[in-house]
Every structure is written in C-alpha cells, then in structure tokens.
Structure 1
Amino acid sequence: MALMITDECINCDVCEPECPNGAISQGDEIYVIDSNLCTECVGHFDEPQCRLVCPVDCIPNDPEHAESSEQLMTKYKRLSGLVG
C-alpha cells in the first residue's frame, strides 16, 4: 500500500530527502507522495524512512492505493530497472 501525507503535515522538509524513490515532493500546501513511486521503502529498507523521521506522525497508508508486499517489491524492481 502506498503511503500518503495528511493535512497535519507541518512542512518541516525532513521526509523528502529520505525517500529512496523520489516519491515525496512539495505540493500546493503540504508535501505529497506519488503513489506510482512509493514502495513503502520495500527493496531499500525494512520500514518507510519518511515515517521514521516525521515529527508529527502524519504519514499513514493510503487506502486508495492498496498493494501487497509482493506488488510493492515488483514496483521496486521496475523502478530500479531490475525488470522490464
């Protein structure tokens, strides 16, 4: 399941550089996560790095983008160029 950033975001700028897939960017008002790029850090780390550094705990799972661990690994491989 991809992650999302809620409106509790305080724009502290700590999550964006932690994302190994470049899925986090500054939106109109708060940071946003591109669900096409978010793998919850599967393939890179044991847990989502953005969640580890977020001081306000505003990065839950995105219920509109449910994905299994296997789907996240497939996405990671595709994004990393490991599969075509």
Structure 2
Amino acid sequence: MAIKITEECINCGACEPECPNNAIYEGGVEWAIADGTTVKGSYTLIDGSQVDAAAKQSPLSMDTYYITPNKCTECQGFHEEPQCASVCPVDCCVPDDMYQETVDDLMARKDRLHS
C-alpha cells in the first residue's frame, strides 16, 4: 500500500529528498510521473486512466506535503522501510489504506518507473 502524509505535517520538507521515486511534493505543486523517473510517453495510473508521463497533474494537497500513490512504492527495491516515515519528525507518513497493494505490485511499479 502507498504511504500518505497526514494533516499533522509541519511542512519541514525532510521527506521529499528521501523518496527514491520522487513521489513527494510540496503542497500546491503539480506532479508528473516523469519527475525523477525514466518514464516517457503514455503511463497507466492506478485508476486505469492513461496520461502522458510528462503531463503535470493537479496537486493532491494545497497546504502540506503530499505523496502521489501513483509513484509510491513504499521504497520497495530501494530500502528496508519507507524513508519518508523514517525521517519524519512528527510521524505523519503512514500507510494509506485506500491503496492495498502487494510487494509484487509495488516492485512492478518500481520497475515501470525506473526501467
């Protein structure tokens, strides 16, 4: 399952540089699949929709840092644990129950993002 950032976020930014998938963005900043990945061309999002990897998507939060589940792999294939959670001083990086995924699902996403 993906990780999410809760409303307890203090906007310290410690999590953003730790993400190997560039899935963490400052509040109000648009995101794209291509940011920090090797993806080019068409990409299928979790909801099944197709987007151009370079196309900017609407921010998921305007006020606090956020993690796009379309890029989060819980650091599978990179680290033993999600790095955002390990560096967060207020423990606001938690599992997102809306996205139930297996380790195989997360590894497949990692491979698609960094082929």
TM-score, reference length from structure 2: 0.69
TM-score, reference length from structure 1: 0.94
Structure number with higher helix proportion:
1
Aligned-residue Cα RMSD (Å) equals: 0.6
What is the CA distance between 1:15 and its match in structure 2? Answer: 0.3
Corresponding residue to 1:64 among 91, 95, 98 = 98
Q: Report the equivalent of 1:20.
A: 20
Q: Partners of 2:114 and 2:94 in 1: how far apart?
A: 24
- 1:3-42 counterparts in 2 under 5 A? 3-27=3-27, 28-42=62-76
Q: Partners of 1:33 and 1:25 in 2: how far apart?
A: 6
Q: Partners of 2:5 and 2:64 in 1: how far apart?
A: 8
Q: Secondary structure of the equivalent of 1:37?
A: coil
Q: Secondary structure of the equivalent of 2:94?
A: coil
What is the CA distance between 1:51 and its match in structure 2? Answer: 0.7
Aligned partner of 2:77: which letter?
G
Q: Secondary structure of the equivalent of 2:5?
A: coil
Structure 1 outlier segments of 4+, above 2 Å: none
Aligned partner of 1:23: which letter?
A
Q: Partners of 1:66 and 1:54 in 2: how far apart?
A: 22
- 1:67-82 counterparts in 2 under 5 A? 67-81=101-115
Q: Partners of 2:65 and 2:93 in 1: how far apart?
A: 10
> Percentage identity across aligned positions?
53
Unaligned segments of structure 2, at least 5 residues: 28-61
* Higher Rg of the two aligned structures: 2
Q: Partners of 2:94 and 2:81 in 1: how far apart?
A: 13
Unaligned segments of structure 1, at least 5 residues: none
Structure number with higher strand proportion:
2
Q: Report the equivalent of 1:43.
A: 77
